[in-house]
Every structure is written in structure tokens, then in C-alpha cells.
């Protein structure tokens, strides 16, 4: 005879809540989870504190993106959007349900999502790149026609990137040109600011007509550790920033790019 597997919730005289699946008592965590799942529309006051926590976790799970029912981090969705994957066509927010025009699955395993993102990151430098723009003192006296727009952005914009839904729980880590690590948003942002000031001053010291700097940071994402990393270690300690200006020239309207000096940043200097 088949055993009765009905889920039961019993409150003892001492107020303890116990869960049973048929005759077998379940561990509290598993019982709470199963009970809440089966009774998710019950009034809130009928739940215990722990059941409420399970209910919140269930809601978060239902709202989250998944792969074959396993919850995934929102950053993957952001990156897939950049790759123009039609994620809105996924059933129940599950990426494993996505199919191409021929009806074949786009992703057979979750690692196919990682492969796709990884391949793009390896082949397209701009895929994970964030640019900031800084006007040097001379910028105010610039010839407007030299520049495409009048808006100067700054390092503060990096904070907007960090505040996006998918990156809000990430730690920013910056290695400065000397290779010292700056971990945490405030310290790392300050390190980026100091770096931009240092570059600006070095450029100004040899080219008074330098007016505009653009820093394009190729950040690295470590999704498992929830870290966003920028390595500014000096790759050419024997070559000064000033040498690039001397070699490339700094006439009005010229633009000089420095892409091999520091690990994760390309610097563009415009002259007026």
C-alpha cells in the first residue's frame, strides 16, 4: 500500500513548529521551504519568522533568472543583453528554454552561457570597457570645434556602473601603477581618481595645450568572487608618460593614444 506523503505542519504545546512528510519528520529548513512553497498564498500572519524568510527567498527565486531551474546571478543577463541574445523569449525566465530560429536550444548547459560571454570578452576589447573623460584646465579655453561634445564625464560615473542592479553587490579592486592593491569602493575609486590626476599632471607638464583626457578602462569581472577589477600596473616603467607626447606630437587638433603603458587602461589625449 502506498504511504501517505502529505505534508503536515504541527504546532506543539510549547509553540514549536514541526513538519512531516507522511510519517517522516523533516528537518526544519527543508520543512519550512516545502510548506511555504505549498502554501505561498496564505496570509502573512499565519507564517512563523523562519517561514517568512523562506517565503521571501521563494519570491526572490521566482523573480530571478534561472538555468534549468537553478538561480543565476543577474550579471549574466546583463552580459547576454550586450550580446543581443533574445533573453525576453525565455519561458519562466529560464535561459535553458531559449531556442534559435530552427528550434534548437541556444544553451544546452549553463557553461555554454559562460563560453559565449568569455569568447566575446576575449575577442572584443570594448565588450567590458568603461570610459571616463576629464577636461584639463586648458579645456575651458578650447576650440569647441576640436571636440565632439561639450560634456565632460569623470570618474564619478564609475559609481553609476557599480550601482547597477547586476553589479551593486560587487567589490571594486584597483591595482595602482606601482602594483599596490586598493580594495573596496571608496579606496578603489580614490585610487582611480589619483591615477587620473597623476596622468593629467604628467601630460600637462610637457604639453600645456593638452585639453582633454579620455580613460577607457578594460575591467575584469570575477563573477564567482563578485569582484570588478582594474589593473593599472605600469607595464613600461622605463618609458615615461611624457615620452609618448614627445614622440607623437601635440599640435592643435592632434589626438595621442597611449595603450601599452598601463595594463587595463587606454588613454587618449586631445590637444587644443
Partner 1 sequence: MKILDIPRTTDNVQFNIDILNKLNVDFIVQHGTYTTTIITEEGKARYMMNQYNNRVFMCANLIKTDVLKSENAKQIIEAKYLKSNFGVSQNVNSYQAKQVLNIDISSAYATCLYTNGLITDKTYATIKSLPKTERLPCVGMLATSHTKFYYRDGECYNVDVFRAPTAPVFFYLIDEINYIMQQIQFLLGVDFIFYWVDGVFFNYDTPPEKIQMIEQFLSDSGYDYKYEDVQDFKIDVDPKKMMLKMVKNNIPKQYIVGKDDVGESVKNYLNDLLKKQTNQPNINTIK
Task: Kindly list the residues in this chain that would bind partner 1 in the complex (CB under 8 A).
Answer: 67, 70, 109-111, 114-115, 117-118, 121-125, 127-128, 218-225, 227, 229, 237-238, 264
Q: How far is the CB of 127 from partner 1 (least distance, A)?
A: 8
CA separation, residue 87 to residues 73, 79, 82, 128, 255 (Å): 14, 11, 11, 20, 40
Kindly tell me which of 112 and 268 has the beta carbon lying closer to partner 1. Answer: 112
90 - beta bridge partners?
Answer: none
List, as one string, the DSSP characters of 229-244. EEE--BS-TTS-HHHH
CB of 159 to partner 1, least distance (A): 20
**What is the chain's Cα-based Rg?**
27
The residue among 128 and 207 lying less far from partner 1, judged by its C-beta, is 128
- Least Å from the CB of residue 242 to partner 1: 17
Minimum CB distance to partner 1, residue 6 (Å): 22
Q: Tell me how far apart the terminal alpha carbons of the chain are, to the nearest angstrom.
A: 89
User: Which residue lies nearer to partner 1 by CB, 26 or 207?
Assistant: 26
Phi, psi of 9 (to 5 degrees): -125, 120
Q: Which is nearer to partner 1, 96 or 132 (CB)?
A: 96
DSSP 140: G
User: How big is the chain, counted in residues?
Assistant: 272
Residue 63 to residue 69: CA distance in whole angstroms: 12
Beta carbon of residue 187, minimum distance to partner 1 (angstroms, whole number): 17
| CA proximity to 172, closest of 163, 184, 161 | 184
CB of 227 to partner 1, least distance (A): 8
**Which C-beta is closer to partner 1: that of 5 or that of 125?**
125
Q: Which of 222/242 has CB closer to partner 1?
A: 222
Q: Decide: helix, strand or coil at residue 60.
A: helix
Rounded least distance, CB 262 to partner 1, Å: 13
Question: CA 4: distance to chain centroid?
Answer: 48
- Cβ closest to partner 1, residue 118 vs residue 143: 118
Non-local CB neighbours of 27 within 8 Å, separated by 6+ positions: none
Q: Which is nearer to partner 1, 76 or 212 (CB)?
A: 76
Using DSSP's 3-state secondary structure scheme, residue 160 falls into helix
Of 84, 103, 106, the closest CA to residue 95 belongs to 106
Smallest distance from partner 1 to CB 79, Å:
8
Amino acid at each position: 500500500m502506498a504511504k501517505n506523503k502529505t505534508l503536515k505542519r504541527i504546532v506543539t504545546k510549547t509553540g514549536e513548529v514541526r513538519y512531516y512528510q507522511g510519517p517522516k519528520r523533516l528537518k526544519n529548513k527543508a520543512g519550512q521551504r516545502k510548506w511555504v512553497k505549498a502554501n505561498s498564498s496564505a496570509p502573512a500572519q499565519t507564517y512563523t519568522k523562519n517561514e517568512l524568510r523562506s517565503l521571501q527567498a521563494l519570491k526572490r527565486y521566482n523573480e530571478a533568472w534561472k538555468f534549468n531551474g537553478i538561480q543565476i546571478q543577474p550579471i549574466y543577463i546583463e552580459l547576454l543583453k550586450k550580446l543581443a541574445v533574445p533573453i525576453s523569449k525565455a519561458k519562466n525566465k529560464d535561459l535553458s528554454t531559449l531556442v534559435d530560429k530552427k528550434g534548437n536550444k541556444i544553451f544546452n548547459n549553463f557553461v555554454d552561457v559562460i563560453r559565449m560571454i568569455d569568447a566575446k570578452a576575449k575577442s572584443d576589447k570594448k565588450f567590458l570597457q568603461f570610459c571616463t573623460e576629464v577636461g584639463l584646465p586648458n579645456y575651458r579655453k578650447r576650440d569647441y570645434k576640436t571636440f565632439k561634445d561639450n560634456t565632460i564625464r569623470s570618474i564619478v560615473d564609475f559609481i553609476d556602473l557599480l550601482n547597477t542592479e547586476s553589479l551593486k553587490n560587487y567589490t571594486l579592486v584597483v591595482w595602482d601603477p606601482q602594483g599596490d592593491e586598493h580594495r573596496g569602493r571608496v579606496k578603489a575609486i580614490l585610487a582611480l581618481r589619483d591615477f587620473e590626476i597623476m596622468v593629467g599632471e604628467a601630460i600637462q607638464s610637457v604639453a600645456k595645450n593638452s585639453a582633454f583626457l579620455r580613460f577607457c578602462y578594460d575591467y575584469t569581472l570575477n563573477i564567482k568572487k563578485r569582484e570588478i577589477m582594474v589593473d593599472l600596473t605600469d607595464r613600461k616603467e622605463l618609458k615615461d608618460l611624457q615620452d609618448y607626447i614627445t614622440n607623437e606630437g601635440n599640435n592643435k587638433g592632434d589626438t595621442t593614444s597611449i595603450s601599452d603603458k598601463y595594463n587595463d587602461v587606454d588613454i587618449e589625449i586631445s590637444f587644443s
